[in-house]
Amino acid sequence: MSVIVNEVRRSTFLDSIVLMRISRQIAALSGVEEAGLVIGTPANKDILQEARILGADGDKAGPGDLIVALRANDDRAAAAALAEAKRLLDHPEISGVPTSENTSRSIRAAFQRLPNANLALISVPGHFAPSEARKALALGLHVLIFSDNVAIKEEVALKREARERGLLMMGPDCGTAIIAGVPLAFANVVPRGNIGLIGASGTGIQEVSCLIARAGGGVSHAIGTGGRDLKSEVGAITTLMAIDALDADEATNHIVLISKPPADAVAKLVLDRVAHSAKPFTICFLGAQDLRVPANARAAATLKAAAELAMGKILTNEPAQPPLLPFGRGKLVRGLFAGGTLCSEAQIVFGRAGLKVTSNVPVPGASPAADGTHLMIDLGADEFTRGRPHPMIEPAVRDRPLLDALADPTVGVILLDVVLGYGGHADPAGHLTKLLAARDQGQVILASVTGTDADPQSRHEQVHKLTEAGVIVTASNAEAAELAIRAIGG
């Protein structure tokens, strides 16, 4: 019978990514069925409850406490796993966590240690993020809030306060930024250059910045806004301030805006501001219809097109020939994405080709789609990541959907993305190839790899591992979607 064990550490906080990393290590131990290390907020307790690893001790934890929760096969495995979790927490350098001599217990203390700093990155439970952000703003710091689950009214209040102070508020839920060549959160190593990026999408910024880098260009700054900045409630506060900043930046000659379609009134605000700039712009509002851009701007339908317009040249398309579907396979395409914007881009490419596509996950055991509808799944969505790390951190989130796709005779092409950079898994391609090693060559596997050779994982090495496993790797996510359409005769 399974054993549930919880231990609570009072008034203890560690970054969520660090906790996810340790959770993954504990979950991989022999005899462990599930594990989670989280701060004791109500939302996190709900996650532990759903994962069936919340015990009475953990349920009593407060929002400032750390819960170590696990379920194991027996008492011996549970005790061993708990001991390992305590060891990793007590000696954080083992898991790559900064040691105490390099950490501060408050933003003010950190600022005293680094008085020349001008930006604070905040990654705490969403309930605490606004108060920490206000402390940073009061110290005159620009702010990047990586945390999600921040109420939109709090976001509006924070951004208005930042604007009054002349400071940038990136986020909440800002996954990527590159400021003066420094990658923040999920970002890639790209050279400095004269192209500025502003994005409500983290993976959108990653894809465009990496395409620019691999085409010989560089990025001056990439400013993330958070996914809700262009909603009518927020009114593009950060986007407009970012345009002002890059417009005044002598090192920036071209500006790219990346987002899903804004509300009409917000789009007008943004495009009116663009029209008053002397610099050229590329506007990539993915999925926008009949977008009317000012004379100094051009519209891009895909992230690849945005990079091409910014660079002023067509990016190389490889491979040139579509793969042949194996005999007897169905012609449906199954897309399994770690990046939500990359998933949206693939859907847009399919829609422009007149193909039916859905993001609705089929009920297990249901009959295959009979109307030729292709399926694109964002595996970073809440239903897949509740109680588990994001697939960019833990690629095993994609395992079950990928195995299901490999076993589905109606699926002829499987479309994947591999996203590299800081904060991501050390070897996502290696994980994928182990899973694909036992397949029967029944489908065409297409993948794009978002990253650069300078990234911690090295794009060149990741591509090599995938191609050795029979995966066809394309230069961009949009190209992978286009090649999938050609493979099925679309």
CATH topology of domain 107-311: Rossmann fold (3.40.50)
Residue range 209-267, pLDDT digits in tens = 999 999 999 999 999 999 999 999 999 999 999 999 999 999 999 999 999 999 999 99
Domain boundaries, the chain: 3-97, 107-311, 332-487
Reported as a single tens digit per residue, the pLDDT across 292-334 is 999 999 999 999 999 999 999 988 766 656 787 776 678 999 9
Of the candidates 350, 346, 340, 431, the one whose C-alpha atom is nearest the C-alpha of residue 384 is 340
For residues 447 and 379, give the distance between their C-alpha atoms in angstroms, rounded to a whole number. Answer: 15
Label residue 192 by pLDDT band (50, 70, 90). Answer: very high
Q: Write out pLDDT tens, residues 451-469.
A: 999 999 999 999 999 999 9
pLDDT band at 1 (very low <50, low <70, confident <90, very high): confident
pLDDT of residue 490: 75
Q: What are the tens digits of pLDDT across the range 89-115? A: 887 555 554 444 567 778 999 999 999
Instruction: Find the helix or strand (DSSP H, E) in which 138 lies.
Output: helix 129-138
Q: What is the pLDDT of residue 13?
A: 75
The size of the chain, in residues, is 490
Confidence (pLDDT) at 328: 64
| Nearest Cα residue to 353 out of 484, 481, 490 | 490
CA 144 to chain centre: 15
For the cut 90, the answer to whether the pLDDT of residue 82 exceeds it is yes
Topology of domain 3-97, per CATH?
Alpha-Beta Plaits (3.30.70)
Q: Radius of gyration over alpha carbons of the chain, in Å?
A: 23
pTM of structure: 0.87
> In degrees rounded to 5, what are phi and psi of residue 36?
-155, 135
Using left for φ > 0, alpha for ψ between -120 and 50, and beta otherwise, residue 384 falls in alpha
Give residues with Cβ within 8 angstroms of 355, minimum separation 6: 372, 374, 485, 490
Do 34 and 81 form a contact (C-beta atoms < 8 A)?
no
Distance CA(219)–CA(204), nearest Å, equals 14
Asked if the domains at 3-97 and 107-311 fall in one CATH topology, the answer is no
Do 313 and 321 contact (CB within 8 A), yes or no?
no
pLDDT of amino acid 97: 47
Q: Which CATH superfamily is domain 332-487 in?
A: Succinyl-CoA synthetase domains (3.40.50.261)
> Is the alpha carbon torsion for 471, 473, 477, 483 positive or negative?
negative
Q: Which pLDDT tens digit goes with each residue over 351-388? A: 999 999 998 665 444 444 556 899 999 998 867 766 56
Tell me the average pLDDT across 12-35: 84
pLDDT of 319 reads 62
